[in-house]
Amino acid sequence: MVVRNYNQELEYLEKINSYCWKIKKGFQPNMNVEGVFYVNQTLEKLMLDELRNACRPGMVGGFLPGVKQIANVAALPGIVGRSVGLPDIHSGYGFAIGNMAAFDMGDPNSVVSPGGVGFDINCGVRLLRTNLFEQDVLPVKEQLAQSLFDHIPVGVGSKGIIPMNSKDLEEALEMGMDWSLREGYIWAEDKEHCEEYGRMLNADPSKVSMRAKKRGLPQLGTLGAGNHYAEIQVVDEIYDKWAACKMGIEEVGQVCVMIHSGSRGFGHQVATDALVQMEKAMKRDNIETNDRQLACARINSVEGQDYLKSMAAAANFAWVNRSSMTFLSRQAFAKQFRVTPDDLDMHVIYDVSHNIAKVEEHIVDGKQKTLLVHRKGSTRAFPPHHPLIPVDYQLTGQPVLIGGTMGTCSYVMTGTEQGMLETFGSTCHGAGRALSRAKSRRNIEYTEVLRRLEDMGISIRVASPKLVMEEAPESYKNVTDVVNTCHAAGISKKAIKLRPIAVIKG
């Protein structure tokens, strides 16, 4: 590989407009398509600083900078359109988190890469609304946070309170949210307001290793650790009155519950197992990539198909997991206010996945094509009238839930036609890390983080306070910058801003 200095590298980057940069071919070897990333002024500085640091002599090891990772993805076989970096992009395993890429299903060389989905398969966000207002909740905020904490087990090694045996797990893996429905944990309306209706139909539990199932079984219905959380939030600002109205959000001050979680150890094991298989397939089929972490297999190979089937099972696991926590949150609220969840109007507004690969139809160079769309740290954002979005959102576009970091705001956006054309109907997923976990542990004291949350009037319950500083707002990009960039670039549209009043975390 050629070694270039920072200024030489910059020659391959071109600013198209105030929110969008192009990565030209040649930035990394063998690029099949160009790369693109969306940033505003602040995020642009972070992005380029990262590249500058990586260009300093003697900088080896660790993840490649995000721009390099976007370009490496652009060199994968079968990629179409552009390799897209979203404003919250940061380095990850193989693909950067916040990178989306689409591969032509019609091209026999096209690949699927577990690195393009991530280890927490179908990590996602679900938003529930209530008919309560801030003043109803404030007096009992502490009790409510405690009640949620008691219902939803959190932290590394936590175990769920919904009894499951291995047969239940097999069924849940195959049926996704239909399992939760059958068992009565959720409402019929929850299913319609969920991406893919909460079930990947190609899931095949027999392709999942015993080890993954063993890890997953006790963890269903738990939140997990890391950046996962459940928050009680209050509507802070409404940008799009009509979109909010369609979501059942009438006024500022209305209380919502946001759940951010994924497929726990189960998804992690599925991804780990697949990577081992992929390395073998790459050798056999002579697939070359720029980065060893971009392990992949042809979509139509046995390894590729097995991965897609087990990934779908993991996706179903995540939906059942979020559904179980929906059930538990409804119970917690119902107990606290002594009314039924129905009377509290605790409907699911939407449920998005931000680590997933899906087969979708898109227009590429004027032709309709079937693509395998990888979204890692990126949310699907389909425009109004798209046939795959719920009937209630046909006029507004798909709701996109952008979870903030602990103590910061979250947003609800909607999908746009422009996003469909530019980014295969994808947008950002959250704030995106700015500091590595290790760095944030060194920089910030956890007591300080907790004190500041208290000052902001946010109740917090954590399983392991010492890990809190990894998730402190300082460790992340500013979610408002991220959301504003997507809005200004037109790839999605701001609808609602939410601020937390209580947080539970691993």
Partner 1 sequence: MSKRLLAALEYPNADNINLAEEKTLRNVVVWLELNKFQRAKQSTLNGLKNVSSKDWTIHFDDYKECFGCPPLSSQVEEVHWLLGQAIQNETSKNRNVYLKHAVENIKTSNVPSVVAENPLDKLDFRSTEFGNRVNQLAKTLKIVPYPDPLVTLQAVRKVICTRLTPDCVEHPDKYIVTGTPYPFQDADLGFDLHDKVLNQAAKVLRMLYIHDLRDLQTKANELIVAVQNVTANPKTDTKLGQVGR
Which residues does the annotation mark as catalytic?
A: 429
Distance CA 192, CA 348 (A): 9
Determine the interface stretch with partner 1 among 96-104, 333-341, 352-360, 380-388 (rule: CB under 8 A).
380-388
- What are the two backbone dihedrals, phi and then psi, of residue 230, each rounded to the nearest 5 degrees? -120, 135
- List 70, 74, 79, 181, residue binding partner 1 (CB under 8 A): 181
The DSSP code for 430 is B
Closer CB to partner 1, 155 or 253, in the complex: 155
Closest CA to 66 of 39, 92, 27: 92
- Rounded CA separation 117/358 (Å): 10
Going by their DSSP bridges, the two strands 13-17 and 20-23 should be labelled as antiparallel
Stretch that binds partner 1, among 17-25, 104-112, 345-353, 381-389 (CB under 8 A): 381-389
Give the footprint of partner 1 on residues 188-207 (CB under 8 A).
188-189, 191-192
User: DSSP labels for 399-424?
Assistant: EEEEB--TTS-EEEEEE-HHHHHHHS
- Shortest gap between Cβ of 474 and partner 1 (angstroms)? 23
Does residue 158 interact with partner 1 by CB under 8 A? yes
Which residue stretch of 150-158, 311-319, 354-362, 472-480 sits at the interface with partner 1 (rule: CB under 8 A)? 150-158
- How far is 222 from 328, CA to CA, in rounded Å? 10
**Residue 159 near partner 1 by CB under 8 A:** yes
Q: Token pair for residue 317?
A: 């696991």
Tell whether residue 493 is a contact of partner 1 (CB under 8 A): no
Phi/psi for 41 (5° steps) reads: -60, -45
Encoded one letter per residue, x for contact with partner 1 by CB under 8 A and - for no contact, window 388-407 reads --xxx-xx------------
Number of residues that bind partner 1 (CB under 8 A): 43
- Residues from 326 through 355 that contact partner 1 (CB under 8 A): 327-328, 331
Q: Is the dihedral of CA 467, 469, 470, 472 positive or negative?
A: positive
Q: Work out whether 162 is an interface residue with partner 1 (CB under 8 A).
A: yes
> What tokens appear for 140 in the block?
């009992």
How far is C-alpha 465 from the geometric centre of its chain's CA atoms? Answer: 24
- Residues whose CB is less than 8 angstroms from the CB of residue 280 and which lie 6 or more positions away in sequence, other chains included: 303
Task: Report the distance separating Cα 427 and Cα 155, nearest Å.
Answer: 29
Stretch that binds partner 1, among 17-25, 111-119, 184-192, 469-477 (CB under 8 A): 184-192
Q: C-beta of 109: minimal distance to partner 1 in Å?
A: 34
Binding residues for Mn(2+): 120, 123, 228, 260, 354
Q: Which residues are at the interface with partner 1 (CB under 8 A)? A: 149-150, 153-163, 181-185, 188-189, 191-192, 218, 222, 225, 242, 245-246, 327-328, 331, 383-385, 390-392, 394-395, 417, 463-464, 506
Binding-site annotation: residue ranges for GMP:
227-231, 354-355, 403-406, 410, 429-432, 505
